Structures are given as C-alpha cells and as structure tokens.
C-alpha cells in the first residue's frame, strides 16, 4: 500500500520494479512495462527466467514446463504465453501455438484473424511461425 509516509520531501514516491533481461529482449519497446506485467508475481517471473535458462541449455521440454507453471501462477502473464506459443511453433504444434498466442492477447484476440481463404489457417500460422526465427 502506498501511503504519504513513503513519500520524500517533495511528495514523490519512488519504486524499484524488477524487469528481467529475458522479458526486455522480447519487448518491442525495450523499456515500457504494462500494468498487466506489473501484476505478475515474482514466483511467476522466476519461472520465466528458469524457462529462458533451460532453453539456452537446449531443454525445450523443461522450458515448456516452467512456462506452464508461470501461467498457472499468473494467467495474465503475456510474455510467458507468447514464449509458450513460440515453443509450440518450434515443435510444429500449430494448434497449441495459436492457443497460446490467443491467451497472450487476452481480450485483444479479435485482432488475430487470418485474412485468407477458408482452410488456409495452418499455412498462415506456419508462415508466421517461420518468421519468428528469421
């Protein structure tokens, strides 16, 4: 809780917010932190860092499990959902990738619509997945 007792002489309250380098690397803005990100508990953030560490050691399954734990703790954790989507893409599981990306978008998923012929969803999603690691 923020109270006047936390303010300095000028009435300013300062706060340090931990921001993982792994999340910063995935962020398009690099330094902007959303309100939703600020609601992610430290335990979920640590699971994300663990997933990044495991993936760097070529342990995709361990990374996936750590991320699943992160989103179980914090279902609003967009970066973890997106990371899960990328892992699913890499594994060739397009249905799971789409599910994770949509969960990461939350209520904004309306914008994720393949503007293509019916039946071409897999081609569009596979193309998107290929672009992730170019």
Confidence of residue 134 (pLDDT cuts 50, 70, 90): low
pLDDT at residue 22 in the model: 63
25-45 per-position pLDDT tens digit: 655 555 566 677 778 899 999
What DSSP assignment string belongs to 3-30? -GGG--TTS---------HHHHHH-SSS
Under the banding of pLDDT at 50, 70 and 90, the label for residue 111 is very low
C-alpha–C-alpha distance, residues 86 and 79, integer Å: 11
Q: Which residues contact 75 (CB under 8 A, 6 or more apart)?
A: 103
Domain boundaries 18-132, corresponding CATH code? 1.25.40.10
């Amino acid at each position: 809780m923020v109270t006047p007792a936390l303010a300095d002489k000028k009435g300013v309250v300062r706060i340090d917010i931990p921001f993982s380098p792994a999340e910063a690397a995935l962020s398009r803005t690099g330094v902007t932190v959303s309100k939703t990100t600020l609601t992610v508990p430290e335990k979920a953030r640590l699971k994300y860092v663990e997933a990044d560490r495991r993936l760097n050691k070529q342990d995709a399954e361990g990374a996936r499990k750590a991320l699943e734990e992160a989103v179980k703790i914090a279902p609003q954790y967009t970066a973890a959902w997106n990371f899960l989507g990328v892992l699913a893409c890499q594994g060739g599981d397009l249905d799971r990738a789409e599910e994770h990306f949509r969960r990461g978008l939350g209520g904004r998923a309306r914008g994720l619509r393949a503007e293509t012929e019916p039946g071409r969803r897999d081609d569009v999603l596979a193309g998107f997945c290929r672009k992730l690691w170019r």
